[in-house]
Structure 1
Amino acid sequence: MTSKKAANYILLLSIHGLIRSHQLELGRDADTGGQTKYVVDLARALARQTAVGRVDLVTRLIDDPTVDGAYRQKFETLEKGAQIIRIQAGPEGYIKKEELWDYLDIFADNLLSWLRLQPRMPDIFHSHYADAGYVGLRLSLLTGIPLVHTGHSLGRDKLSRLLAMGLSGDVIEQRYHISRRINAEEDVLANAELVVTSTHNEIAEQYELYDYYQPDHMVVIPPGTDLEQFYPTETAVNFPFLDVLKPFLSDPTKPIILALSRPDERKNIVTLVQAYGESVELQALANLVIVAGNRDDIREMDEGGQAVLTEILLVIDFYDLYGRIAVPKHHRQEDVPEIYRLAANSKGVFVNPALTEPFGLTLLEAAACGLPLVATENGGPVDIIGSCRNGILVDPLDAPAIAQALLEILKNAGKWEKYSKQGLKNVRKLYSWDTHAKKYLEKIRPLLEYHPVFPKIPRVRGDLSYRNRAVFSDIDQSLLGSQDGLKAFTRYLVGNRKRVFFGIATGRRLDSALAILKKNGLPTPDVLITSLGTEISYAPQMTPDSAWARHIDYHWNPKAIRRIIAELPGLVLQTKSEQSRFKISFHYNSETAPSVEEIHALLRQEEQAVNVILSFGQYFDILPARASKGLALRYFAQQWNVPLERILVAGGSGADEDMMQGNTLAVVVANRHREELSGLYEPERIYFASQPYALGIIEGIDHYDF
């Protein structure tokens, strides 16, 4: 038996929403739904396994007077061996997931700094949703620790549904930052060692939409349900929540048709109310209870929730359903099991009419309390009802079919009993958290056998250990171009040589970089990141970092890449002197070549996980997935123990973007290519200089008082 001391350390990442150990605020908004409950339950279930010694659930720290103070605690215990870790990134207050993208690099840098203080690094990163996938991928690429990912919902699927609803592409982009989300998902799928899904439908119909589609890297592990909370009652008991419903209902003793979800248009509750309103027989047989989040005033809700609840009330009024339908304003999370049991004891039915349901955790909870199910035929319910044989699947857009399925169960006592018993039995057999955790550990076991270690490089110059900050710059269009600027920058370096590293981060090869720096009279850098981050060398002998080379060689296949690119128009290989072991470089003709996005998609479709970079509008480079200027810079910072907050980076083209994101202090110098960096936004850490070249770097040094 594995001892707890030597057992595995799993780090779960779930960044958005409100996550705490108790009384989860499910349904508070679109970001605090089933995923928050899933990750909390998963962390607890994994911690109970003998093979697991530590589980950290990492989320964002929120210091906001409008939400509970628990969300500002840096640490919170879930149970023995499991804790919530909260990492600060971006504004202190609570913000929607769509607004988090500009701060995810800061989150990744802060989390890595925290991890470096721990007794050991995790064995696995497991990211949940696209934003956490972005962070998990950055950490995995840098550390070599395997990444496992769960999407929960997918951007390409959401985009198609939003377009079908009539929203324009511009509106979708502005509201949801959908292209950033999809790009992050594509990168995660190309680099994750394993993708965990809840249903076969996700693999066959949702992930299939992505360029890097590898079903053999995906595994179905259905979520569990907490059987200590969700269970049936054998005898009639007092249900306090019934008192909440009585003011709505003329005859509260009738069976309950229960719907429980967020007030989200995709949950399709309005169609359910229409189905009920159109069926006099259904109204005579049962009451309809809709538990749709919590509200004090519909007028103060977010736009989506306000629209849904307003439409529900209009439909209730149109069909004159007063006395037969309840839409309570409030419920607590701890009320939910009682609500299910109340409906089950009334011989009612649980209904999920969502347009599409990624999994359907509420179906498991309801079934575990003895409720038969009527659910959408799109998504997870297909697997759940198929396995448990405890209900009926329906077309969510067919209101008469929904009504007919409900009548079929409510009018047939034998069928109700059969579905109830089969649900109880099979949920316990197939969907417990213990079953989920055991299968999860079985699937990740091969990944746990690999324990990457970043070797410490030998200190090649003793005096460097006294330096506690660094200035890094690109060469072309950033450092060179102004003799006055070069003189001022050289004076700065000479005056601060005892405490400031001088670093270069360039697309040039090492020999080319050294030659042009010497020609312009600049001091020899202490460290050179060359060939776009694929090589790192240290003064004075320009000692190459062989550990970095071994690290980035992972899954690098240059022969296959050249073969795939060979026939594309508008791409011409640069001279041999510009190629290197880990960099394939082309001249790029924007008039005839495919877009960078199209080329990247082609490489993903051919199962090549790489970085692609377009610089100055005309140089196109393909690198290993683990190589970039930003990743190499962070590797240097770790090895030499220089905080990123004390590294000033200067650049002026798209190739510099990822070293400017996160916790570094960035200076974008004025040049004709700086528009490639116009998407960067972080007022405290990204400065757009008014001066060009080295003059701009000096301006940035003054701005940051560096």
Structure 2
Amino acid sequence: MSDLIQAVLNSDERTNLRQFASQLRASEKRYLLRNEILAAFSDYCSHYEQSEQFQTSSRLGKLIYHVQEIILDGNSLCLIIRPRIASQEAYRLLEDLTVEPMSISDLLDLRDRFVNRYHPQDGDVFEIDFQPFYDYSPAIRDPKNIGKGVEYLNRYLSSKLFQDQNKWLDSAFNFLRLHHHNGHQLLINERIQTQQALSQQIKTALQWLSDRPDDAPYEQFRFDLQTLGFEPGWGNTALRVRETLGLLDQLIDSPDHQVLESFAARIPMIFQIALISPHGWFGQEGVLGRPDTGGQIVYILDQVKSLEKQLQEDIELAGLDVLNIHPKVIVLTRLIPNSDGTTCNQRLEKIYGTEDAWILRVPFREFNPKLTQDWISRFEIWPYLETFAIDAETALRAEFSGKPDLIIGNYSDGNLVAFLLARKLKVTQCNVAHALEKSKYLFSNLYWQDLDDKYHFSLQFTADLIAMNAANFIISSTYQEIVGTPESVGQYESYKCFTMPELYHVTSGIELFSPKFNVVPPGVNETVYFPYTRTDDRLLGDRDRLEDLLFTLDDPAQVIGKLDDPSKRPVFSMARLDRIKNLTGLAECFGKSKALQEHCNLILIAGKLRTEDSTDHEEISEIEKLYQIIDEYDLHGKVRWLGVRLAKGDSGEIYRIIADHQGVFVQPALFEAFGLTILEAMISGLPTFATRFGGPLEIIQDKFNGFYINPTHTEEMAATILEFVSKCDQTPQYWSDISNRGIERVYSTYTWKIHTNRLLSLAKIYGFWNYTSKEDREDMLRYTEALFYLLYKPRAQALLTEHMQR
């Protein structure tokens, strides 16, 4: 039994537990989540005049703190307890305080009963369990180390080398011998036939190199090394070659995880990368703010530029310029024939600022021209992904003149396509979820049947299970994206155990302690987003044009609202108009606070202005709601709502103009997996207020370089902003202090150089791990394939049939 429950039952607080349980049974609520449980316990403490210390520090208070859900089943209470991060237990509490542990299957059956979807007479529901397939993999023990998978994996691999040196060194030798590019053998040639010979030749080469000047270029001694069995790839100078060979020599003689990581980072094994992002409008201009199109476009394009630059640097350092090797990066997305003035109908588009990086667009097959000629919502895209992957394989092979060395999936749809491609091409697969819809939509799995005609969660969650388990490694922007906080469940953690009533039960959907998880936060494009104080880098013409747009331009086609007093401090936000981004919540917060209105104006850049211009049901709903809020709180003269699509350079200057006016940036999302706009605002110098639900908790240090807000409590959110504004009015230096600390935070932690160095290092280590354990992974991959063909594909075909009838 849980120690938390046992502690209560062994104390005089048993009576309090019985009273609290009785109070819950008497309420109308039958399914309570954590915030509701805490509120109910607070009500109980008030009713029975319990002290604040009892509420927070008693044995019962500690138990209640860790209870994530309570389901009332007849007269018994089912308690789902999360005693620690990434751990869950379920118990049934009877009226006499008897406690019975519940199995996962029992818990999932109970949830099915709650929504009247439990039919034992029809037999058991299909059960998905990935746990047996993680036996091949080492497991992290301490939850604090989740998200540091590569560090753990390096220690594990080096210990294996030490325990069974011959086997693992043979694997390492064979792995090195594999490497070639464009017909050129790399690293070692046929003169070295065994790992014993490799070890001896390394020592011979090191002795020979000891007399060479450190800066001697590789070309001068290339053929001398070749006769010893070493091909290009070890370094571009004598010093670099000595260092790399020295790391391998050290690894052979005395394995060490840090040496392994340093050596693996130098192996030239990645030259061509494919990034997969099918949904939305993927382009370089005129797309931001369209449905399904926002931060992921910025993220991927910035990532591509940094990846190409880093790959080129790595190639030069490895001495491979003697072979005229150059990197190539391709973003694979969907071609949209009716492109609405964008470049999304172009098959191939060069990415600005790169030498050989491209957007490759592959069309969906013509199943139904009425649909496939146009943009398709990310919720409706599923029937087209399998054939898209088939066609994309041919296109990628043609563009790469071969196959990529690494495939990076983005979002649920991109990760599924990445799985299909990586499986076929036999290359390393990396997943980036950015955001998982399951966490964003409350009870989306439990009520999937009611939501499926609109959101098709049955397809999306199945795709997520397949892709996240098949991936060689997963990068997240934050730790809590994986396993949440002590108070909240992480996005990936929510896939550990859940039910899709009448479809399947997931008893173990993901191994959270697997070393495949790594936290690698993104960076900011420093050429576009930089501090407002760098006036020499700002273009005067852009500043004047955008200043007019933000504060004074009278153009009903682009702007709603004229400010009575443009000199007031601007409260600024910029996001898509959808429910999760919650710009309407910020408008309501502003509308409810007369004090905030006295000090500030509200300026929003938020997609379209009129419902007739949108085809996205969520955006239409939010547009209507924003108009209603402006009217209800009489915000005319106090709000500017800009329905514009900004060029990337303009968005950077917009932040800086708001900073010129000593404004603030507010990110009010109900949930935010990471929050690139937060980094953009902070590096521009804007004091930033961001949701406490999700990734911003790891970016911002509250009240030091930014502020947390609770977007579900509008009065509290207004009070937090108002407190800052009032303090700035009293002490003008306070605005600059927060501004400067925000800038420092981004430069120290969130740059693309840091990101891509880490990403490529991970890809090399996991490539090695994938090679050495591929036989052990095959059973997992077969299982994911079975789920694809038996669960995903029939539902995708049913949705396609529905599309054909439209």
Under a length normalisation based on structure 2, what TM-score does the superposition of the two structures give? 0.55
Instruction: Report what 2:455 is aligned to.
Output: 176
> Could you say if the C-alpha distance between residues 10 and 356 of structure 1 is closer, same or farther in structure 2, counting changes exceeding 3 Å?
same
Aligned equivalents of 1:243, 1:89: Cα separation in 2: 42
> Could you say if the C-alpha distance between residues 253 and 676 of structure 1 is closer, same or farther in structure 2, counting changes exceeding 3 Å?
closer
Runs of 5+ consecutive residues of structure 2 not aligned to the other structure: 1-233, 237-266, 316-326, 366-371, 484-489, 496-508, 555-561
- SS across alignment from 2:766: helix
- Of 381-390 and 261-270, deviating more is 381-390
Q: Does 1:317 align with 2:616?
A: no
- SS across alignment from 2:701: helix
Aligned equivalents of 2:414, 2:614: Cα separation in 1: 29
Shift of 1:361: 0.5
Q: Does 1:213 align with 2:511?
A: yes
Q: Does 1:306 align with 2:620?
A: yes
Q: Does 1:443 align with 2:762?
A: yes
Aligned equivalents of 1:405, 1:138: Cα separation in 2: 47
Q: Which residue type is aligned with residue 82 of structure 1?
A: A
- SS across alignment from 2:491: helix
Work out which of the residue numbers 222, 240, 250 in structure 1 matches 2:545.
Answer: 240
- Give a deviation string over 1:144-164, Cα, whole Å, max 9, x none: 211100111113213426589
Over the aligned positions, Cα root-mean-square deviation in angstroms equals 3.2
Structure 1 or 2: more strand by fraction: 1
Instruction: Report what 2:280 is aligned to.
Output: 17
Q: Which residue type is aligned with residue 318 of structure 1?
A: E
Does the 8 Å CA contact 1:149/1:192 hold for their aligned counterparts? yes
Q: Which residue type is aligned with residue 555 of structure 1?
A: R
Q: Which residue type is aligned with residue 290 of structure 2?
A: R
Instruction: Report what 1:649 is aligned to.
Output: none
Report 1:139-538 matches (<5 A): 139-160=421-442, 169-204=448-483, 205-210=490-495, 211-215=509-513, 216-234=515-533, 238-244=543-549, 245-246=551-552, 247=554, 248-295=562-609, 300-333=614-647, 334-386=649-701, 389-412=704-727, 413-449=732-768
Does the 8 Å CA contact 2:572/2:665 hold for their aligned counterparts? yes
Does the 8 Å CA contact 1:388/1:423 hold for their aligned counterparts? no
Does the 8 Å CA contact 2:276/2:331 hold for their aligned counterparts? yes
Shift of 1:51: 2.6
Q: Which residue type is aligned with residue 563 of structure 2?
A: L
Aligned equivalents of 1:5, 1:551: Cα separation in 2: 20
Higher relative contact order (CA 8 A, sep 6+): 2
- Give a deviation string over 1:260-281, Cα, whole Å, max 9, x none: 1111111222222222222222
Shift of 1:302: 2.7
Q: Which residue type is aligned with residue 462 of structure 2?
A: N
Q: Does 1:679 align with 2:789?
A: no
Instruction: Report what 1:59 is aligned to.
Output: 333
Shift of 1:6: 7.3
> Could you say if the C-alpha distance between residues 88 and 552 of structure 1 is closer, same or farther in structure 2, counting changes exceeding 3 Å?
farther
- SS across alignment from 2:442: helix
Shift of 1:225: 0.8
Aligned equivalents of 2:413, 2:564: Cα separation in 1: 47
Identity of aligned residues (%): 28
Shift of 1:372: 0.5
Q: Which residue type is aligned with residue 415 of structure 2?
A: G
Aligned equivalents of 1:349, 1:300: Cα separation in 2: 29
- Give a deviation string over 1:255-299, Cα, whole Å, max 9, x none: 110011111111222222222222222111111101111346656
Shift of 1:8: 2.1
- Give a deviation string over 1:154-210, Cα, whole Å, max 9, x none: 13213426589xxx5334211111111111111112111111101111111110112
- SS across alignment from 2:293: coil
Aligned equivalents of 1:71, 1:256: Cα separation in 2: 38
Does the 8 Å CA contact 2:351/2:359 hold for their aligned counterparts? yes
- Of 392-401 and 234-243, deviating more is 234-243
Aligned equivalents of 1:32, 1:304: Cα separation in 2: 14
- Give a deviation string over 1:434-458, Cα, whole Å, max 9, x none: 2211121222221344797xxxxxx
Does the 8 Å CA contact 1:144/1:551 hold for their aligned counterparts? no
Aligned equivalents of 2:786, 2:635: Cα separation in 1: 62
Aligned equivalents of 1:447, 1:146: Cα separation in 2: 8
Report 1:115-126 matches (<5 A): 115-117=396-398, 118-126=400-408
Q: Which residue type is aligned with residue 616 of structure 2?
A: D
Shift of 1:74: 3.0
Aligned equivalents of 1:680, 1:260: Cα separation in 2: 34
> Could you say if the C-alpha distance between residues 251 and 151 of structure 1 is closer, same or farther in structure 2, counting changes exceeding 3 Å?
same
- SS across alignment from 2:374: coil
Shift of 1:421: 0.2
Shift of 1:301: 5.0
> Could you say if the C-alpha distance between residues 446 and 350 of structure 1 is closer, same or farther in structure 2, counting changes exceeding 3 Å?
same
Aligned equivalents of 1:109, 1:98: Cα separation in 2: 21
Does the 8 Å CA contact 2:348/2:361 hold for their aligned counterparts? yes
Q: Which residue type is aligned with residue 106 of structure 1?
A: T
Q: Which residue type is aligned with residue 313 of structure 1?
A: Y
Q: Does 1:108 align with 2:389?
A: yes
> Could you say if the C-alpha distance between residues 263 and 394 of structure 1 is closer, same or farther in structure 2, counting changes exceeding 3 Å?
same
Q: Which residue type is aligned with residue 279 of structure 2?
A: H
- Give a deviation string over 1:12-58, Cα, whole Å, max 9, x none: 111111112x32511111x1111122111111110011236221111
Does the 8 Å CA contact 2:664/2:686 hold for their aligned counterparts? yes
Structure 1 or 2: more helix by fraction: 2
Aligned equivalents of 1:323, 1:677: Cα separation in 2: 49
Aligned equivalents of 2:472, 2:770: Cα separation in 1: 14
Does the 8 Å CA contact 2:448/2:458 hold for their aligned counterparts? no
Does the 8 Å CA contact 2:571/2:664 hold for their aligned counterparts? yes
Runs of 5+ consecutive residues of structure 1 not aligned to the other structure: 453-549, 558-608, 613-624, 631-653, 662-674, 686-706
Aligned equivalents of 2:287, 2:654: Cα separation in 1: 16
Q: Which residue type is aligned with residue 747 of structure 2?
A: R
Aligned equivalents of 1:222, 1:229: Cα separation in 2: 19
> Could you say if the C-alpha distance between residues 677 and 58 of structure 1 is closer, same or farther in structure 2, counting changes exceeding 3 Å?
closer
Does the 8 Å CA contact 1:274/1:399 hold for their aligned counterparts? yes
Q: Does 1:87 align with 2:366?
A: no
> Could you say if the C-alpha distance between residues 280 and 677 of structure 1 is closer, same or farther in structure 2, counting changes exceeding 3 Å?
closer
- Give a deviation string over 1:306-331, Cα, whole Å, max 9, x none: 22122222222222222111112324
Q: Which residue type is aligned with residue 493 of structure 2?
A: E
- SS across alignment from 1:267: coil
Aligned equivalents of 1:684, 1:411: Cα separation in 2: 55
Aligned equivalents of 1:683, 1:315: Cα separation in 2: 37
Aligned equivalents of 2:328, 2:402: Cα separation in 1: 11
Aligned equivalents of 2:531, 2:421: Cα separation in 1: 44
Does the 8 Å CA contact 2:611/2:620 hold for their aligned counterparts? no
Instruction: Report what 1:555 is aligned to.
Output: 777
Aligned equivalents of 1:678, 1:75: Cα separation in 2: 31
Shift of 1:249: 0.8
